[in-house]
Amino acid sequence: MGVITLTLVAAGTQAPGTGPQLWVIVACALAIAVGTYSGGWRIIRTLGAGLTQVKPAQGFAAETSTAATILASSHLGFALSTTQVASGSVIGSGLGRRGSSVRWRTVGRIALGWLFTLPSAAIVGALAALLAQGLGTTGVIIDAILGLLFILFIFWRSSRNKVDHSNAINVPDVAESGYAVRIRKRGKVKPVPTETGTIPPLTPIAKSAVRSDHAARAVEQAAEEAARQIKAAERAAARANKRAARKAAAKGDQK
C-alpha cells in the first residue's frame, strides 16, 4: 500500500500527506488473500516443518514474538518484512527448544531468496518502467500481460508438486499436538487430563498414521543398527588383517 500510494503521490494523482485510498487497500488485501489461498499451504509446510519441527509451545512463542516485533516496529515507524520476522521467530523457537534442530540448508535457501529479491525486483521494475515510458499505454498493457503470464507460469509450476491440507504437515505431528503434557524432572512426560478428566482420543486415521510413523521409525532404527554392526564388523576384520600382516612380517624377519 505504501509503494502504490507513493507512486500516486509522485505522479500527481494524490495529494501529499494523505493516506492510502480505499481502492488501494482493497486491491492489496485481495492480492494478499489470493496469494495466501494459492500458496499458503506451501508456506505452512516450510515454516511449520521445513525450518524446524514446530510444536504447539514453539508456535505460540514464534507467533507472540512476531506480533510483538511487528507492533513495536509499526509504532516506531520502522519498515520491515513480516515474512522475515515470522521466519526468524520460527528459527529462534527451534534454537530455544531442547532436542530440536534447525535445518540450516533451508534457512540458507530462504536467505538467498531474500538476497536476490531486491536486485531482481529493481531490474524488473526498471524494465517495466522503460516499456511504460517508451510505449505509453501500449507499454502498460504489455507489462500487465507479461506479469499475468509470469504469475500463471508460477502457478502451473507449483501445481506439479501440489501441497495442500493432506500433506502440508505430518498427520502424527498434528494429532499429537492436541495433547497437553507436563514435563517433569529426569525427562518424564505426563499427559494432562482435559476438563472432562480424560485425554482426547485419536481418530482412526490419526491412529493409523501414528502406527505407520512408529513403524517407519522402527525400520530406520533397525537399518541404522545394521549399518553400525556392518561398520563394526569391517573394523574388526581390518584389525584382524593388520594383526595377521604383522605376524607374517615378524615370521619373515625371524627367518
Residue, of 59 and 128, whose pLDDT is higher = 128
Return the closest-CA partner of residue 173 out of 40, 37, 39, 50: 50
Residue 249 lies in a domain: yes
Task: Give the pLDDT of residue 221.
Answer: 82
All three cell numbers of 231, joined, read 561398520
Residue 212 lies in a domain: yes
Query: Which range scores top for mean pLDDT: 32-46, 70-84, 139-153, 155-169?
Result: 139-153
pLDDT over 70 at 185, yes or no: no
% of the chain at pLDDT higher than 70: 77
All three cell numbers of 157, joined, read 509450476
3-state secondary structure of 183: strand
Q: How confident is the model at residue 104 (pLDDT cuts 50, 70, 90)?
A: confident
Residue 229 lies in a domain: yes
Contact 172, 210 (CB under 8 A): yes
Total domains, the chain? 1
Rounded-to-integer distance, Cα 147 and Cα 107, Å: 28
Helices (H), the chain: 2-11, 22-45, 56-76, 82-96, 104-135, 137-159, 171-176, 204-254
Return the closest-CA partner of residue 143 out of 135, 13, 11, 155: 135
Residue 73 lies in a domain: no
Q: Which amino acid does the sequence have at 86? A: A
Residue 65 lies in a domain: no
Residue 218 lies in a domain: yes
Residue 60 lies in a domain: no
Task: Give the pLDDT of residue 197.
Answer: 46
pLDDT over 90 at 245, yes or no: no
Residue, of 88 and 180, whose pLDDT is higher = 88
Task: Give the pLDDT of residue 134.
Answer: 85
pLDDT digits (tens, 9 = 90+) for 187-218: 444 444 544 444 445 555 555 655 666 676 77
Residue 12 gets the label, from left (phi > 0), alpha (psi -120 to 50) or beta, of: left
Contact 24, 9 (CB under 8 A): no
Task: Give the pLDDT of residue 179.
Answer: 46
Rounded-to-integer distance, Cα 170 and Cα 153, Å: 28
Residue 167 lies in a domain: no
Instruction: Give 140: exposed, middle or buried? Use CB within 10 Å, 0-12, 13-18, 19+.
Output: middle
Residue 216: give the domain boundaries. 203-254
